[in-house]
Homo-oligomer: A and B are copies of this chain.
């Protein structure tokens, strides 16, 4: 696959920020080895973020975001803060370029705060180090470079690759709940919407994780669940169900047997569980006419569409007794401005990839709009959200 064949969404995103006078664009050029942005000594020649693909070894294909230079004086301003947040929502690694002959200004301090608030890995690159009498030693997040002489550009790239390549702290999927020899029952309903001859990825991942824990996965349909449970010599360690079968499965599984769903396992694994559980609570403050955004990642997948456009709105109306106005979006058309909406209900996002889902969640969080997902909301509507959270000792803080 050629370099350009890597879709932008799968590239690690590295964003450069800095004051107009710090030589940010020169440093981006030194970093990428190409004339990426117009460089001049007139302040602020970069007026829009510039996106550029490059190969950053040993990391692989990356997307460089060269952002507009910030003012040398004063604070960031509301619009700039908003725009920076948007860029940061897509950023895996932020590089703040500063002038090593001057202290950080107010705008730079604010930028650093924003970056740290979002928990995004960052580097502070002190440029123009060639002008210093002596160059300080690099720190954990800090190093001194010169776009002019090439000083420590190699080190900057190495450090960037190392930082951007670090995966966020992943929580376990299911293995941490299991002992070797345990049996987990997985409920996989087969309806017309299920992909023919395949299992969806969360189901595959769960089976894999069960096996890696030395446990066994007993897979059955909802229609055979009662029979399957009755045939077991002892209760399973856990029952995991597809969210759509929640209501039925919750009635079959004895109250003392731990029960959860693939959606909840995946949300915990990706680190979204707290956010989406909080988001689901907005259900109970909906009023007639409130706008609810139902967002789907894919455009063709009949299953999501049916759930999103037909079943979920009906369930929400039944559960709340109110008539919200449902607005639907699918594919890539997720709005930047979520202010018209009282809540966002997003699909599992299996086709979107983690970066895009994180971006969507961060965008909602920035605007203080509750965001939840189909599986969590269905659990909430069925009144079993808290029951499905009980199996996770590390999620006890989400229980009432």
Contacts and interface: CB of A to CB of B under 8 A. Distances in A.
Taken together, the copies of this chain in the complex come to: 2
The majority secondary structure among interface residues of chain A is mixed
A244 to B, nearest CB: 15
A217 B205 CA distance: 16
A221 B224 CA distance: 24
Interface in A18-32: none
Q: Interface size for chain A: under 10, 10 to 19, 20 to 34, or 35 or more residues?
A: 20 to 34
Given A233-B231, A233-B233, A208 B216 contact: no
Interface in A180-195: 180-181, 183, 188, 190, 194
Contact of A219 (B181, B196, B216, B232): B216
Contact of A208 (B198, B208, B220, B231): B198
A235 to B, nearest CB: 12
A49 to B, nearest CB: 30
A201 B195 CA distance: 12
A233 B227 CA distance: 14
A181 B217 contact: no
Contacts of A194: 208
Given A199-B199, A233-B233, A228 B216 contact: yes
Nearest to A196: B208
17 contacts: A180-B224, A180-B227, A188-B211, A190-B212, A197-B204, A197-B209, A198-B204, A198-B205, A198-B208, A199-B208, A211-B219, A214-B221, A215-B224, A216-B228, A218-B218, A219-B219, A233-B233
